[in-house]
Amino acid sequence: MLAYIIRRVAYLVPVLLVLSIVVFTFVEMLPGNIIDTLVGTEGNNDPEVRKILEKEYGLDQPVYVRYAKWLTRAVQGDFGNSLVTRRPVAVELMAGIPATVYLAVVGISLSMLIAVPLGTIAAVRRNTAIDYTAQVTSLIGISIPEFWFAILCVLFFSLYLGWLPSSGFANPFVDPWASLKFLILPAAAVGFRQAAYTTRLTRSSMLDEMNKEYVDTARSVGLSEGKVIFKYTLRNAMIPTITISGLQLANLLGGTVVLESIFAWPGIGRAIFEAILQRDYPLVQAGVLVLGVIVVVMNLLIDLTYRLLNPRVKFA
Amino acid sequence: MTEIQADKLAELAVRRPAIGGRMARWRMALGNAWHELRKSRTASIGAVMLVLLFGACIATPWITSYDPIKQNYRERLQPPSEKHLLGTDRMGRDIYTRLLYGGRRLVAIALLAVTFGLSLGIPYGVLSGYFGGKVDTVAMRFIDGLLAFPGLLFYLLVVTLAREWKIEGLANDAVLVFALGFAFMPEVARLSRGSVLAEKQKEYVEASRAVGDSSLAIALRQILPNIISPLIVNATVRLGYVILIIAALSFLGLGTPPPTPDWGSDLAAARDYMETAPLIAAFPGLAICYTVLAFNLFGDGLRDILDPRLAER
C-alpha cells in the first residue's frame, strides 16, 4: 500500500512538469515579449526603461533559465502581480476559490440526489416506461449545451416567472437567504448536466451487480427484494458512481468557466476568463496551473480512497 | 457465428466474381450495414438523424437562396414566416440560412479535429503499448500530463494565442482543428494502448512473430484492425463533445469572430433579445442539441452492436 502511494505520488512529478511546461510555453508564445505587454498599456517606450525591465524579467537569459526561475517562484506561490489590479496573482486567485468550490459541491450533491434514485429505479424496472424515460432524458441531458440550458433557465425562472435573480452572488455566511436564491439556477445547471452522466452510470453498474451470483444467493436464502437491492446491490453499485462523482467534482473546479460567466459567479473560472479578455496573462498562466494541480491532486486522492474502500482492487 | 467463420465467409464474398458490377456491390454493403444497424434502435435513430444532418450540410447552397452574412436592416427581428422559415436575426439575416452555413462549418471542423486526433493517437498508443517497457512508461506519463487540463482550459489557452497572433478566417478554423484534435489524442492513445496490451498476448500475434514479421508490421497490420471498434465508438461520441466545445468557445466570444455564421456566437448575440424575441436564441440551441444528440445516439447504439456483451444488459 505504502509503496503504491509513493509510486503514485512520484508519477505526479512528470505530469506536473508537462502541465507547467505547456502553461509556461503559452506565455512565451504570445506575440512580442512581456515587456510590450507591460509597458504597452502605459505607452512607455523609453529604451532605458526597457533595458531595466528586461533585466528584471530575465529576458536577457536563455529560455530554460527563465523557466527554472519561474517554476521555482511558482512552487513557492509567487506568480507575480496582476497586470490589471497590480495585486499579487495568488491573492486574486485565492479570492475566487471559495465561490467555485461552493458551486461545484452543491452542484455535485444535487446531481447525486437526482441520479442515484433515478439510475437505481431504471435498473430495477429495466425495459419499462420508467427505464426508457430515464435513459432518453439523460441522453438529452448529455447533449444539451450547458450554456443554452442555463439561458433557458434564466429566461423561464427569472424573466418570465420572476422567481429568481438572473445572475449574481451573495455570501452564504452573511445573507443565507439571498445566497440561496442566487445559487439555485447555477447549481441546477451544473447538477442536471452531471446527473445525466451519473444516472447512466448508476443504471449500468446496478445492472452489472444485479447479474452477480451473490444476488441470487441473497434471494435464495429468502431475503426480501428491497433488502437485496438496498442493502447489498446498491452499496456495491455505488462504488463507481461515487468515484465518477469525485472526478466530476475535480473537473468542475476547473471547468465551470461558462456557467460562472453567465451567472456572474465570482469564481476562479470567471477570474481566468476575464483575465483573458483583459489580457492579464500572468493571471491566466497561474490560474490554469493552479486548477491543473488541483485536478491532478484530487484525482490521485480519489484513486487512493477508491482503493482503500474497495480491497478487491489490486495495488498493482 | 464465430470469428473464423465470419472471416471465411468474408473471404468467399471477396473471391466471388461481382454480380451486377460495382453499384450492386455498394448497394449490398449498404444493405448489410443497415441490417446491422437495425439491431439497435438507438443506432438507427441516430443514423437517420446523421444522414439528415450531413445531407443538409452538403446541400446547403441548394436549399437556401439567402446570403448568411449580408445585412438587411429593413427586415430585422422578424418572426418565422413563409419568406423566412425561422425568422430573421438582429441584423435582418435569415436565421435558417445562418444555421445551415454555421452547421456546415461546425461539422467540418469537428470531423477534421476527430480525424486528426485519431491519426495522432492511434500510432502513439499502438507503438507505446507494443514496445512496452521504458518507452511506454515515458510516453504514458506525457499523456497523463496532457490529461491534467480540466474542462475548457487548454482550449482557452490556444484560442487566446490565436487571438493575440490575429489569426482569422480559415487559419483560425485550422487552429481549432489542431487544438481539438490534439486534446483528443491522449484519450485515443490510452484506449489503443490498452487494446494493444490485451491483443499482444493472443495467438495470432505470436504466429506472425514466428513467421518472422517485423514489430512494426505486426503492430500495424495485425493488431490495429482488431482494436478498431472501440475507437470508432469513442470517436463518434467525441464528435458530439467536440461540437459542444466549439459552441461553448464561440459563445464566450473566443471562437469564431462575427459575422461568420456560428451557432455559439449567434446564440450569445441572441441573449440581448431574449425578452423581445426568445425564438432567436432557441434555434441555434436546438441545432446544437440535435447534432450532439445524433452523434451520441449513434455512438451509444454502435457500442451495443460492436460489443454484444454490453447489449445483453
Give A-chain residues touching B197 at CB under 8 angstroms: none
φ/ψ region of A171 (left if φ > 0, alpha if ψ in -120 to 50, else beta) reads: beta
Contact B153 A272 (CB under 8 A): yes
Closest approach of chain A CAs to the CA of B105, in angstroms? 18
Give B-chain residues touching A20 at CB under 8 angstroms: none
Domain residue ranges in chain A: 90-309
Q: In the beta sheet, which residues pair with residue B88?
A: B94
What letter would DSSP give residue B94? B
For testing the chain B interface, which of A7, A18, A26, A203 should be mutated: the one with the most B CBs within 10 Å? Answer: A18
Predicted local confidence at residue B243, as pLDDT = 92
Predicted local confidence at residue B16, as pLDDT = 46
Q: What size, in residues, is chain A?
A: 316
DSSP states along chain A: -HHHHHHHHHHHHHHHHHHHHHHHHHHHTSSS-HHHHHHHTTT---HHHHHHHHHHTTTTS-HHHHHHHHHHHHHTT---B-TTT-SBHHHHHHHHHHHHHHHHHHHHHHHHHHHHHHHHHHHHTTTSHHHHHHHHHHHHHHHS-HHHHHHHHIIIIIIIS--S-SS----TTT-HHHHHHHHHHHHHHHHHHHHHHHHHHHHHHHHHHHTSHHHHHHHHTT--HHHIIIIIIHHHHHHHHHHHHHHHHHHHHHH-HHHHHHTT--SHHHHHHHHHHTT-HHHHHHHHHHHHHHHHHHHHHHHHHHHHH-TTS---
Q: Which of A62-66, A102-106, B272-276 has the highest mean pLDDT?
A: A102-106
Residue given cell 446541400 in the structure block: B59
As a whole number, mean pLDDT of residues A145-160 equals 84
Contact A276 B160 (CB under 8 A): yes
With b for 16 or more beta-carbon neighbours within 10 A and e for fewer, the B121-138 pattern comes to: bbbbbbbbbbeeeeebee
Can the peptide bond before residue B259 be classed as cis, meaning omega within 30 degrees of 0?
yes
Predicted local confidence at residue B163, as pLDDT = 81
How many Cβ atoms sit within 10 Å of the Cβ of residue B82? 5
Contact A14 B141 (CB under 8 A): yes
Predicted local confidence at residue B112, as pLDDT = 95
Over residues A216-267, the pLDDT tens digits come to 888 888 777 777 777 778 877 787 788 788 878 887 877 688 888 888 888 8
Report helix, strand or coil for B122. helix
Predicted local confidence at residue A121, as pLDDT = 85
A155 and chain B: CB distance < 8 Å anywhere?
A: yes
Give B-chain residues touching A166 at CB under 8 angstroms: none
Predicted local confidence at residue A32, as pLDDT = 67
B218 and chain A: CB distance < 8 Å anywhere?
A: no
As a whole number, mean pLDDT of residues A127-151 equals 87
Residue B116 has pLDDT above 80, yes or no: yes
Cell numbers given for B23: 453499384
Please tell me the distance from the alpha carbon of residue B164 to that of residue A23, in angstroms, as a whole number: 16
pTM of the model: 0.84
**Which of B142, B154, B251 shows the shortest C-beta gap to A147?**
B251
As a whole number, mean pLDDT of residues A15-34 equals 82
Q: In the beta sheet, which residues pair with residue A88?
A: A81
Work out the angle between the directed axes of helices B228-251 and B95-131 (0-180°, nearest 10): 140
Q: Which of A89-98, B51-60, B218-227, B257-266 has the lowest mean pLDDT?
A: B218-227
As a whole number, mean pLDDT of residues B11-25 equals 56
Residues 217-276 of A with CB under 8 A from B: 250-258, 261, 272-273, 276
Please tell me the distance from the alpha carbon of residue A154 to that of residue A284, in angstroms, as a whole number: 29
Over residues B48-99, the pLDDT tens digits come to 888 898 888 887 778 777 777 777 777 676 777 777 677 777 776 777 778 8
Q: Are A145 and B288 in contact (CB under 8 A)?
A: yes
Report which of residues A140 and A176 the model is more confident about. Answer: A140
Q: Are A153 and A189 in contact (CB under 8 A)?
A: yes
Residues 6+ apart with CB under 8 A from B47: B37, B298, B301
Predicted local confidence at residue B115, as pLDDT = 94
A90-309 is classed CATH 1.10.3720.10 = yes
Residue A117 has pLDDT above 80, yes or no: yes
What are the phi and psi torsion angles at B94 (to 5°)?
-65, 120
Please tell me the distance from the alpha carbon of residue B186 to that of residue B168, in angstroms, as a whole number: 27
Predicted local confidence at residue B3, as pLDDT = 46
Q: In the beta sheet, which residues pair with residue A81?
A: A88
φ/ψ region of B169 (left if φ > 0, alpha if ψ in -120 to 50, else beta) reads: left
As a whole number, mean pLDDT of residues A103-123 equals 88
Give B-chain residues touching A273 at CB under 8 angstroms: 156, 252
How many Cβ atoms sit within 10 Å of the Cβ of residue A10? 9
Q: Are A143 and A196 in contact (CB under 8 A)?
A: no
Q: Which of A130-144, B26-40, B110-124, B247-261 has the lowest mean pLDDT?
A: B26-40
Over residues B197-218, the pLDDT tens digits come to 877 777 777 787 777 777 777 7
| Residue B8 pLDDT grade (very low, low, confident, very high; cuts 50, 70, 90) | low
As a whole number, mean pLDDT of residues B22-50 equals 78
Predicted local confidence at residue A24, as pLDDT = 87
| B284 closest CA partner among B104, B102, B111 | B102
Residue A17 has pLDDT above 50, yes or no: yes
